[in-house]
Amino acid sequence: METYYKHSGRAPVLGIVFGFLAGALISIPASYLYDYGIIEITIDKLRFLCTIGFGALIGAAAGLGLCWGKVRNNAAAAIIGAAASLAGLYISWGVWLIDIFERGHWVSNPTRLLMHPGAVWQAILAINTTGTWAMEHDSPTAGAALWAVWLIEALLIVGFGMLVTFGLVKRQPFCEKCEGWCSKTEKLYFAPTLPPVDVKTKLESRQFECLQQLGQGSARGSHFRVVLHSCTSCGMLNTLTLIKAFPKDQKVLIDKLLISSSEIDAVRHLGSPRFAASASAKSMTLGRR
């Protein structure tokens, strides 16, 4: 038996198409919002967030589309995430260019322009020489500096789109027997009373009782988070993920360790607040003696 869960790599064609379309279609209304955002917002930091948000939204739509289409292939997720964000980037250029040329018509239709990539490119070249906007209290950015800004913008959109799509597809295990995602997710919080490397080693060697030593943690403060995924249909596929959540230090220590149904029950029991409360009550009575 494998130690860790890994996607089978299956990527149904319909799922791939659906993922790409979901990402590309959401980018149409999102392009108008993004265009409005980058033109109307004058604070550079907020514009930056708009760019990231635009990419992340496309990635989320593509990722959900792929999950709906049962694509369990990390490479396919990254490629579709990048392709959908590139399509979104292209559409956003069309919306922006039409807006520059037809100032004031917020609902201009860029379809005709977008059908002619050559015209889009000529328009981009023309705008680059003069520039249209300025950083706070500055003359319009143009030429090489503008190319650099546009390149960073493109990398942010495609990068975040890809990351979010990838993250969504990788998030849950897929039960090949039942043909479904392991949508049952439980989160248990433990106190950070042991060194992370010890907790990792012990859980990997299946000494789940070490969780009892940790004691109950809180979601707000520093903690170890155990995330359990299980198949709702057969209950035979179960995984355990361990995350170290310290202030400014978040790390996945164990990614989807395969565990049996009796092991997951034991972990659930150790992590239940009622069990933790009775354990601490017991230690208090012992302490009084």
Contact residues for Zn ion, defined by CB under 5 A: 175, 177-178, 231, 233-234
Contact 177, 153 (CB under 8 A): no
List 285's β-bridge partners, or say none.
none
C-alpha distance from residue 258 to each of 2, 228, 245, 254, 269 (Å)? 7, 10, 22, 10, 18
Shortest distance, position 287 Cβ to Zn ion, whole Å: 45
Q: Which is nearer to Zn ion, 131 or 235 (CB)?
A: 235
Q: Across-strand partners of 174? A: 181
Residue (261 or 278) nearer to Zn ion, CB: 261
Least distance (Å) between residue 190 CB and Zn ion: 27
**Distances from the Cα of 115 to the Cα of 118, 163, 261, angstroms:** 9, 28, 55
Q: What are 278-286's contacts with CB under 8 Å, separation 24+?
A: 279/212, 279/215, 280/215, 280/216
Q: Closest CB to Zn ion among 192 and 235?
A: 235
Q: Which residues of 242-265 are buried (b: 16+ CB within 10 A; e: fewer)?
A: bbbbeeeeeeebbebbbbeeeebe
Nearer to Zn ion, 74 or 233 (CB): 233
Closer to Zn ion by Cβ: residue 233 or 272? 233
CB of 183 to Zn ion, least distance (A): 11
3 state DSSP class of 253: strand
Specify the DSSP class assigned to residue 223.
Answer: E
Write down the least CB distance from residue 180 to Zn ion, Å: 7
Rg (CA), the chain: 25
Closest CB 240 distance from Zn ion, rounded Å = 16
Cβ 237 to Zn ion shortest distance, Å:
5
73 or 230: CB nearest Zn ion: 230
Half-sphere exposure of residue 68: CA atoms within 13 angstroms, side-chain side: 14
